[in-house]
Amino acid sequence: MTGRKETFQISLDADVVAELRYMLSLLDADPLWQKAVVEDVLYRTADAIATGSRRPGSAERVILNMLGLVSERAEHHVYRRAYGPPEAL
């Protein structure tokens, strides 16, 4: 990853945000999640999705499969070292 951040704004149903906040309150005792906010959960989730997209054999890919987010196109089943579309051959 480049370390460069970009903003990707989304809107969520209030019920979803309420559940995410509740989940964080349950995780508050965990040092990894203390003082975390909803954005932290969504960042970590988006990172796992991006990793699973480029790494077919990874644990993160299991998440994508369960969510139906894996394309049948051949190029989505090939490991890519870098994020984003593969370089032209």
Summarised one tens digit per residue, pLDDT across range 11-62 is 999 999 899 989 888 888 888 777 878 888 888 999 999 999 999 999 999 9
Q: What residue ranges do the domains of the chain occupy?
A: 14-77
Nearest to 50, CA basis, from 63, 35, 68, 32? 63
Distances (CA, A) of 58 to 14, 25, 35: 32, 29, 29
Lowest mean pLDDT among 25-29, 31-35, 67-71, 78-82: 31-35
pTM: 0.78
Query: In this predicted structure, what is the pLDDT of residue 55?
Result: 96
